[in-house]
Amino acid sequence: MKKAKRLTALALSAVFTMTVILTACSSDEGSPENQSGVKPPKDGEQVTLKFSFWGDTIEKKTVTEALKRFEQETGIIVEPMHVPSDYLTKLTTMVAGNVAPDLGYLSSGAALTWAEDGKLLNLTPLIESDPDFKKEDYLDQIWYDYAPGKTIGMSTAVEGYGLMYNKDMLLDAGVELPPTEAGKAWDWDTFIEYSKKLTLDDTGKNALDPAFNPNKIKQYGFQYDPYNMMAAVVSNGGNFLTEDGKGFGLVEPEAIEAIQKLADLMYVHHVSPTPLQTKSLPDMALQTKKVAMTVSGNWALQAFAEQDFNLGVGVLPKLKDSNTLLDGAPTVIFSSTKHPAEAWLLYKYMADPESVLPLIAGGLWMPLKKAWYTDPELISKWASGNKAHPEGYTESFMKQTLENGIRTPGFEVKNLAKINALVTPALDLVWTGKETAEQALKGVEPKVEPLIQGYYGR
Amino acid sequence: MLSSLLLSFTDYRIVNTPKFIGFDNYTRLFDGTDQYFYNSLAVTFKYVILRVPLGLMFSFIVAFLLNMEFIRGKSIFRTIFYLPVIVPAVASSMIWIWLFSPDLGLFNSFLEALGLPTLNWLYSEETVVPSIVLMSLWGMGSTIIIFLAGLQGVPRSLYEAAIVDGAGAMRKFLHITIPMMTPIIFFNLIMGSIGAFQVFTEALIMTQGGPNNASLFYNYYIYREAFLFGEMGHASAIAWILFIIILIVTAIFFRTSKSWVFYESEV
């Protein structure tokens, strides 16, 4: 009897354990969050599309309004599905449960692999048969091709990188303002010198002073998320993979040199906070004068515009070539859609800068269409005369993105998530000052090599 | 549950039709082709071994103190200790990120004030797991409540008899409280271990498995394989191994329980 009792208890706890483990993996979260405004179809031909997206409240509002306008203009009903967090988990579950939306945002890694498995629509035939759509009208770097000649579409928005700074701090320190033209970009030594001038310890000495105390820094010259090191790598002539796509590019001398130079900003020159020190900085480090200059993507301008300080922008300091990084997750059409033609209509509508103008003028996004970078009338609609786009923006961000924008590896490197699962811990060692770039990256190279599968569409 | 067992023998990446590949998912784990398996096992065991005994001791002591007759405002304390349980894990993780902050955090300010060296808490390979253990103690409210209920169920007649026999506080504790509580301790041991093996939110919100995979907890590893890499079949295999591990650990506890768990009804 006693034994039976124990066995029952054991069995019960086993079942309990398994339930707990599995609920995490199999929970059905397929139901849309937002089903507002959906009317029953008037007749058999009424088309309803579901559009899924993420984003903050401003983005939610703008996108929802754009979808609404599309609905009014075309009579096609659109269900917005806003997923503020855990987006990929939710979409994965929906796709697995065969209730995928018709179209929506998707992270680049998932998009490219899902496209290979046929879960996303190849847009090439739609583009080629559409007289109203010219691929050349859009930036060249924003296309996500999963195979040569096969595309899943464009970035949802363009996100160029640049230098952002607190103008007052630079003026106070007597530092020349960062150039806004590619041809005049600071070289690395100039950049380090100015960064040192802007880095102060608790007694007010800057990092050029021999008596400077690097353990008591109260103001940093420069702050940057070093994991975003690709701009420096590419500026130095390197890349994530080798040109032929067969080798691990980050172990090439150009890449190692660039990565080491970023680490040296923290551990040799003491002008930049380590990842650890960054955790202690406030979000508004520029505004509160904890940091003088920072590198970030265009989206940061939206938040900066809401803060009250004298924001300036410039081009990134260069190693060899002046360039910028270009990022942005794609919007895709799922192949399970029953209405590809209507989905494509909506796709075009959302890719039109005019449809989402508040996000562009507000500083979160950069437009997808080339004309918005070249036509003064269109430029004046978003890139000048507002707080999110300070003086010099049109050169340092807009022109630089158009002319010298390099795609992040997410656009084209196969198997990137798995490679990064190895590279990121290796870089942890570099950014925490435990190993040199060469030691860490060469150390992980043998593990990375078997995972390299080359490039998508090139 | 059954389907996940089946999936664990397939190559299933959500977007394709599952393809049967036998034990491949499992051999990939055990022969080291999958570079994170042993790492995440080690990390998780380290967490379990630290967290389960500490958690039991901590909550038992708190429950014991809360059960003392002379403590005032007991209900307030009881509420305070239970409160963290109803705070969403995400919110409490955010609070703890702030507490652990190396420069501005409460803990380091405290250490500094005492003239002790500060720690990097979540941001160093050595301290990240102990930090998360420390954090988990804060959320032990349910365990404390269960202990408290158990403590209140110990018959007062036993204590009265002991006092008559001239036993001191320590003897009462060791010879009455502890033995009478063993079934509750046993229950909390099992539940605590199962819970500890499944630690997840902290890794997801606070560390993403870093630095250098030092907090790559098993469940986070499953999540990453499944939802970031899309390897559902592989993730199912990993999940099943955890299930078997927990089953074995639980079975061992049940086996040994005979020698130390005391059931009143079985006297």
Residues B16-41: tens digit of each pLDDT: 778 888 888 898 888 877 889 999 99
pLDDT digits (tens, 9 = 90+) for B161-218: 988 888 888 888 888 888 899 999 999 999 999 999 999 988 888 888 878 889 999 9
Give the domain extent around A65: 48-158+328-351
- A276 and B CB contact within 8 Å: yes
Residues 220-249 in B contacting A (C-alpha not used; CB under 8 Å): 222-224, 226-230, 232, 235-236, 239, 242-243, 246-247
Mapped onto helix, strand or coil, the DSSP state of residue A293 is: strand
Residue A347 in domain: yes
Q: Say if residues A335 and A414 touch (Cβ distance below 8 Å).
A: no
For residue B255, the model assigns a pLDDT of: 92
Same-domain status, A210 and A322: yes
For residue B212, the model assigns a pLDDT of: 84
**pLDDT averaged over chain B?**
88
Torsion on CA atoms A357, A361, A364, A366, rounded to nearest 10: 80
Cis omega before residue A179 (within 30°)?
A: no
Of A4-8, B48-52, B207-211, least confident by mean pLDDT is A4-8
Please check the confidence at residue B236 and state whether its pLDDT lies above 60. yes
The pLDDT-based confidence of B267 (bands split at 50, 70, 90) is low
Same-domain status, A123 and A255: no
Residue where one domain finishes, among candidates A336, A351, A366: A351
- B103 and A CB contact within 8 Å: yes
Chain A residue with minimal CA distance to B265?
A2
CATH number (domain holding residue A114): 3.40.190.10
For residue A32, the model assigns a pLDDT of: 38
- How far apart CA A439 and CA A433 sit, in angstroms, is 11
Residues 126-185 in B contacting A (C-alpha not used; CB under 8 Å): none
Same-domain status, A297 and A222: yes
Interior CA angle at A73 toward A68 and A77, to 5°?
50
**pLDDT averaged over chain A?**
89
Of A80-84, B105-109, B237-241, least confident by mean pLDDT is B105-109
Residue A14 in domain: no
For residue B115, the model assigns a pLDDT of: 86
Q: Which residue has the higher pLDDT, A98 or A23?
A: A98
Please check the confidence at residue A319 and state whether its pLDDT lies above 50. yes
Residues 43-72 in B contacting A (C-alpha not used; CB under 8 Å): none
Tokens of A433: 């000052």
- How far apart CA B95 and CA A183 sit, in angstroms, is 46
Sign of CA dihedral A281, A285, A290, A292: positive
Tokens of A31: 């139901």
Please check the confidence at residue A11 and state whether its pLDDT lies above 60. no
Among A34, A74, A39, smallest CA distance to A51 is for: A34
For residue A28, the model assigns a pLDDT of: 37
For residue B262, the model assigns a pLDDT of: 82
**What are the CA-CA distances from residue A42 to residues A12, A75, A340, B117 (Å)?**
53, 11, 21, 72
Contacts with A83 (C-beta within 8 Å, 6 or more apart), sequence order: A33, A52, A53, A54, A90, A91
Residue A281 in domain: yes
Same-domain status, A316 and A333: no
Number of independent structural domains in chain A = 2
Same-domain status, A139 and A284: no
Residue A308 in domain: yes
The pLDDT-based confidence of B6 (bands split at 50, 70, 90) is confident
- How far apart CA B210 and CA B217 sit, in angstroms, is 10
Same-domain status, A250 and A205: yes
Same-domain status, A200 and A78: no
Same-domain status, A247 and A205: yes
Residue A107 in domain: yes
Among A137, A41, A81, smallest CA distance to A334 is for: A81
Residue A395 in domain: no
In chain A, what residues touch B105 (CB-CB under 8 Å)? 280
Across the interface, do B235 and A428 touch by the CB < 8 Å criterion?
A: no
Please check the confidence at residue A419 and state whether its pLDDT lies above 90. yes
ipTM (interface pTM): 0.74
Same-domain status, A292 and A412: yes
For residue A279, the model assigns a pLDDT of: 74
Mapped onto helix, strand or coil, the DSSP state of residue A184 is: helix
Residue where one domain finishes, among candidates A318, A351, A384: A351
Residue A60 in domain: yes
Average of per-residue pLDDT across A423-441: 93
- A433 and B CB contact within 8 Å: no
Residue A9 in domain: no
Same-domain status, A140 and A196: no
The percentage of chain A sitting over the pLDDT mark of 70, rounded to a whole number, equals 90
User: If you average pLDDT over each of A31-35, A206-210, B227-231, which comes out highest?
Assistant: A206-210
Same-domain status, A87 and A57: yes
Same-domain status, A121 and A182: no
- How far apart CA A319 and CA A229 sit, in angstroms, is 12
Q: Which residue has the higher pLDDT, A185 or B173?
A: A185
pLDDT digits (tens, 9 = 90+) for A373-409: 999 999 999 998 899 999 999 999 999 999 999 999 9
pLDDT digits (tens, 9 = 90+) for A46-59: 999 999 999 999 99
For residue B266, the model assigns a pLDDT of: 61
